[in-house]
Amino acid sequence: MAEVKEEKKVKKAKKLADPVAASYDVASQEMILRAHDLGVETIFDRAENMKPCNIGVQGTCCKNCGMGPCRLPLPKAGIEGEDERKGLCGATANTIAARNFIRMIAGGAAAHSDHGRGVAEVFLAAARKETDDYHIKDIDKLLAVAADLGVDTTVEEDGEILDRDIDEIAVETAEVALNEWGKPEGELLYVKKAPAARYELWKKLGVIPRNIDREIVEIMHRTHIGVDQNYKNLMKQGSRAAIADGWGGSMLATDLQDILFGTPYPVAAEANLGVMKEDMVNLIIHGHEPILSEMIVSVSETQEMIDYAKSKGANGIQLSGICCTANELLQRHGIPLCGNFLQQELAIITGACDAMVVDIQCIMQNIANVAKCFHTKVITTHPIARMEQDNVIHVEFSEHHAREDAEKIVRMAIDNFENRKAEVMIPKHKSLVVAGFGVESTAYELGGTFRKTFFTLNSNIINGRVRGVAGVVGCNNARCRHNEGHIQVVKELIKNDVLVLTTGCNAIACATEGLLTPESAKVYCGDGLAEVCETVGIPPVLHLGSCVDNSRILLAATEVVKAGGLGNDISEWPVAGSAPEWMSEKAISIGHYFVVSGVYTVFGVTFPTSGAPEFQKYLFEDFEKIYGGMWGFEADPVKHAQLMIAHIDKKRKELGIDKARERVLMDMADRQALEA
Ligand code: SF4
Ligand code: MSK
């Protein structure tokens, strides 16, 4: 008997991922294969051997008290009539799924907003001149943010209006901004940046955030055993916290980063694992905060460090990024993108990564195990994000000795160059990218220096050349083929004349496919969108930055409303959102702030409320009547894009501009009549 058991154990050897089935990206396939050759396990293999919990996937497992977990799977035949499922305390499937859903919003909003708070603290230190390493870089943006936060930018002296001292404005702006996280009364100041109609709707619904932290804390309170047991009331708080993220913590993070590090303008670079260089020190920066990585860019460009690298036998230093730190550095400095979330282990498997420096969010603990098989140094830098493995080095970064910390890290990477032990194998694949389309630069691209405007976009939506706009964002998910959903959804959209705004790991996926170049317009787009992109000289997929920069999409949507001709609110014009390969709680928070801002938002892979059909119907259908935006789900990428296009067409019809689209191939006289 014992022998039979032993034999079964042997037979149950771990499965290895099929590289082609695991990733759409050829560079990644090559590295997965290499991992197998070297006996290095990656997330792709683990996904083969560990399947997700069926009840957790449905969102109906509750472990909010010590009597659980209470598991309420959907009966196989579906729910007919009364739903008898209950947890020990009587919590229904709706209550459990809603509590779990808004706890995901809390997790995501906390991650974005705590990042934002860190930026605000560095901004305050810079404004007060408590650090020599950070300075105000974008004064125009500072003045704009000061005005939004109610900080005076002028002063009256002897009846004369004078410009106020910039340092004074900076300190007061930083103090007011930081106060947004925990002020005791009032409402979040940035919600007034939304279209007036949206603000009034939120006010009527009672979902205006009071401060950022309070909305997150209240979710944890309400979802404790025996508190809020009404899914509609739970979602009211979920909505308020999501607004506090999108129009609060994330938006402030983006704005303050722009003030400190510069507002993005179009910049060219390259993307994919092929950006690493065998003869150079490869320093990869991974995570989300530009505070440290900006300093690493500055230090690694000094002649002293380049000479030091040469003294160790390298030809220089090649910086590249993974996840959203990559997007931050790309949009401000043109630093190449090494890869997205599912490529972090693969970058080490090249054997050429001399150091991977990580800060917060989306860092897999397994990179430390992979690094043990190579010479790579994994360096954690943030006090809240450490790893237990003994090969991980911690260099605790602080804005008060930022340059010193960055120098230490860059030197570590250089010193490690000569320790490479495995044969280096860097995939050749890489693509050209044009990034850096913030709200300001997009207005400039569309209207020029003197007429910065979104109206060019509006008029092309009205005349039908551009069918609508989609925000496509979010992660990779090892439960689906890496990058395939991202790329297919975006290609289907642009083929149908939908302009795409992208951030996060979707942006990196699109970059590796060559979709972030103006030249891609004539290859992949419908005639109307191709014509507009070629005329303006922009890619059909505009890179707007990192996860917190999804707030730029909200502001771009607001600019379209302000430019006129497409209704009075975000919910009225032809726009849709998508996260084809989402996996993080941040994605749920982002999705929900898109929805309550009036955007129909479709997620792929799986949806975490499927075990509670009544609650899911509330999110997917009833929300549209309340907020003008609602959730949707579709795992198939082409059908996913078609759902978005159908919504865009519905909005065009409601606006009465559907006829223009039907006549897109009309003659010049017809066009002129339409434009008049
Ligand atoms: Fe079960 Fe209720 Fe406790 Fe959740 S809160 S684990 S449903 S008893
Ligand atoms: S990095 S949150 S996997 S987008 Fe922002 Fe990518 Fe999602 Fe992380």
pLDDT of residue 83: 74
- 490 SS3 class: helix
pLDDT of residue 676: 39
pLDDT of residue 670: 57
Q: Give the integer Cα–Cα distance in Å for 396 and 272.
A: 29
Minimum CA distance residue for ligand 1 atom 6: 68
Confidence of residue 82 (pLDDT cuts 50, 70, 90): low
pLDDT of residue 441: 86
Probe target for ligand 1 pocket from 55, 63, 64, 95, with the most ligand atoms within 8 Å of CB: 64
Q: Give the integer Cα–Cα distance in Å for 510 and 474.
A: 12
- Closest atom of ligand 1 to 62 CA is 4
Confidence of residue 553 (pLDDT cuts 50, 70, 90): very high
| 430 in Cβ contact with 30 (< 8 Å) | no
Q: Whose atoms come closest to the Cα of 63: which ligand?
A: 1
Q: Whose atoms come closest to the Cα of 93: which ligand?
A: 1
Q: Give the integer Cα–Cα distance in Å for 573 and 566.
A: 5
Q: Considering the chain, what percentage of its residues have pLDDT values greater than 90?
A: 88
Confidence of residue 564 (pLDDT cuts 50, 70, 90): very high
- 600 SS3 class: strand
pLDDT digits (tens, 9 = 90+) for 358-404: 999 999 999 999 999 999 999 999 999 999 999 999 999 988 899 99
pLDDT of residue 338: 98
Q: Give the integer Cα–Cα distance in Å for 359 and 288.
A: 7
Minimum CA distance residue for ligand 1 atom 7: 87
pLDDT digits (tens, 9 = 90+) for 611-669: 999 999 999 999 999 999 999 999 999 999 999 999 999 999 999 999 877 655 555 56
DSSP category for residue 601 = E
pLDDT digits (tens, 9 = 90+) for 565-617: 999 999 999 999 999 999 999 999 999 999 999 999 999 999 999 999 999 99
Q: Whose atoms come closest to the Cα of 475: which ligand?
A: 2
Q: Whose atoms come closest to the Cα of 324: which ligand?
A: 2
Mean pLDDT of 461-487: 97
Q: Whose atoms come closest to the Cα of 223: which ligand?
A: 1
- In short, whether 635's Cβ falls inside 6 Å of ligand 1 is no
- In short, whether 617's Cβ falls inside 6 Å of ligand 1 is no
- In short, whether 116's Cβ falls inside 6 Å of ligand 1 is no
Minimum CA distance residue for ligand 2 atom 7: 475
List C-alpha distances in Å: 427 to 91, 243, 244, 271, 478.
Answer: 52, 42, 42, 12, 21
DSSP category for residue 185 = S
How is residue 90 written in tokens?
């009587």
| 337 in Cβ contact with 269 (< 8 Å) | yes
CA-based max dimension of the chain: 99
Q: What is the DSSP secondary-structure string of 11-32?
A: HTPPP---HHHHBS-HHHHHHH
CA of 669 relative to ligand 1 center, distance in Å: 67
State yes or no: pLDDT of 446 exceeds 60: yes
pLDDT of residue 81: 54
State yes or no: pLDDT of 6 exceeds 90: no
- In short, whether 87's Cβ falls inside 6 Å of ligand 1 is yes
Tokens 């771009």 locate to: 556
Probe target for ligand 2 pocket from 505, 506, 546, with the most ligand atoms within 8 Å of CB: 505
Q: Give the integer Cα–Cα distance in Å for 116 and 55.
A: 34
State yes or no: pLDDT of 281 exceeds 60: yes
Probe target for ligand 1 pocket from 55, 63, 70, with the most ligand atoms within 8 Å of CB: 70
| 431 in Cβ contact with 512 (< 8 Å) | yes
Q: What is the DSSP secondary-structure string of 628-647?
A: S--EEE-SSHHHHHHHHHHH
Q: Give the integer Cα–Cα distance in Å for 446 and 454.
A: 6
Query: Would you tell me how many other CB atoms lie within 10 Å of the CB of residue 621?
Result: 12
Q: Whose atoms come closest to the Cα of 71: which ligand?
A: 1
CA distance from start to end of the chain: 86
pLDDT of residue 30: 98
Is the previous residue joined to 195 through a cis bond, with omega within 30 degrees of 0? no
One-letter amino acid at 556 equals A
Q: Give the integer Cα–Cα distance in Å for 473 and 577.
A: 8
Q: Which residues, in sequence order, are CB contacts of 5 under 8 Å at separation 6+?
A: none
CA of 617 relative to ligand 1 center, distance in Å: 23
Task: Write the burial class of residue 510 (CB in 10 Å: 0-12 exposed, 13-18 middle, 19+ buried).
Answer: buried
Tokens 């282990």 locate to: 345
- In short, whether 93's Cβ falls inside 6 Å of ligand 1 is no
Tokens 């936060």 locate to: 149
Calculate helix-pair angle for 93-127, 212-222, nearest 10 degrees: 160
CA of 394 relative to ligand 2 center, distance in Å: 23
431-660 and 93-260 share a CATH fold = no
State yes or no: pLDDT of 532 exceeds 50: yes
Q: Which residues, in sequence order, are CB contacts of 2 under 8 Å at separation 6+?
A: none
Q: Which CATH fold would you assign to the domain 431-660?
A: Rossmann fold (3.40.50)
- Closest atom of ligand 1 to 87 CA is 7
Return mean pLDDT, the chain.
Answer: 94
Calculate helix-pair angle for 323-333, 504-512, nearest 10 degrees: 70
CA of 79 relative to ligand 1 center, distance in Å: 21
Break the chain into its structural domains and give their ranges: 93-260, 273-419, 431-660
Q: Whose atoms come closest to the Cα of 89: which ligand?
A: 1
pLDDT digits (tens, 9 = 90+) for 304-313: 999 999 999 9
- Closest atom of ligand 2 to 583 CA is 7
Q: Whose atoms come closest to the Cα of 581: which ligand?
A: 2
The bridge status of strand 575-579 relative to strand 600-603 is parallel
- 156 SS3 class: strand
pLDDT digits (tens, 9 = 90+) for 110-125: 999 999 999 999 999 9
Mean pLDDT of 280-286: 98
- Closest atom of ligand 2 to 547 CA is 5
- 71 SS3 class: strand
Q: Which residues, in sequence order, are CB contacts of 308 under 8 Å at separation 6+?
A: 411, 414
CA of 509 relative to ligand 2 center, distance in Å: 12
Minimum CA distance residue for ligand 1 atom 3: 65
- Closest atom of ligand 2 to 473 CA is 4
Q: Give the integer Cα–Cα distance in Å for 591 and 102.
A: 12
Q: Which CATH fold would you assign to the domain 273-419?
A: Rossmann fold (3.40.50)
Q: What is the DSSP secondary-structure string of 362-385?
A: S--THHHHHHHTSSPEEEE-BTTB
State yes or no: pLDDT of 675 exceeds 50: no
Probe target for ligand 2 pocket from 324, 338, 345, with the most ligand atoms within 8 Å of CB: 324
pLDDT of residue 659: 84
Q: Whose atoms come closest to the Cα of 97: which ligand?
A: 1
How is residue 427 written in tokens?
């995939």
Q: Give the integer Cα–Cα distance in Å for 657 and 651.
A: 9
Tokens 């006289």 locate to: 669
Q: Considering the chain, what percentage of its residues have pLDDT values greater than 70?
A: 94
- Provide φ and ψ at 556, rounded to 5°: -65, -40
CA of 614 relative to ligand 1 center, distance in Å: 19
> Which residues does a 6 A CB cutoff place in the pocket of ligand 2?
288, 323-324, 340-341, 361-362, 474-475, 504-505, 546-547, 584, 586-587
326, HSE (Cβ side, Cα atoms, 13 Å)? 35
Probe target for ligand 1 pocket from 55, 67, 95, 231, with the most ligand atoms within 8 Å of CB: 67
Sign of CA dihedral 512, 513, 516, 520: positive
The verdict on domain 93-260 having CATH code 1.20.1270.30 is yes
pLDDT of residue 421: 82
One-letter amino acid at 445 equals E
pLDDT of residue 577: 98
- Provide φ and ψ at 578, rounded to 5°: -160, 145
Q: What is the DSSP secondary-structure string of 211-279?
A: -HHHHHHHHHHHTSTTS---HHHHHHHHHHHHHHIIIIIHHHHHHHHHHHH-----EEEEESGGG--TT
Degrees to nearest 5, angle at CA 229 with 226 and 232:
155
Minimum CA distance residue for ligand 2 atom 8: 362
- In short, whether 53's Cβ falls inside 6 Å of ligand 1 is no
CA of 504 relative to ligand 2 center, distance in Å: 5
pLDDT digits (tens, 9 = 90+) for 129-167: 999 999 999 999 999 999 999 999 998 888 889 899 999
Residue in 458, 511, 198 with CA at minimum distance from that of residue 338: 511
State yes or no: pLDDT of 461 exceeds 80: yes
- In short, whether 659's Cβ falls inside 6 Å of ligand 1 is no
- In short, whether 68's Cβ falls inside 6 Å of ligand 1 is yes
- Closest atom of ligand 2 to 288 CA is 5
How is residue 85 written in tokens?
């499922």
- In short, whether 65's Cβ falls inside 6 Å of ligand 1 is yes
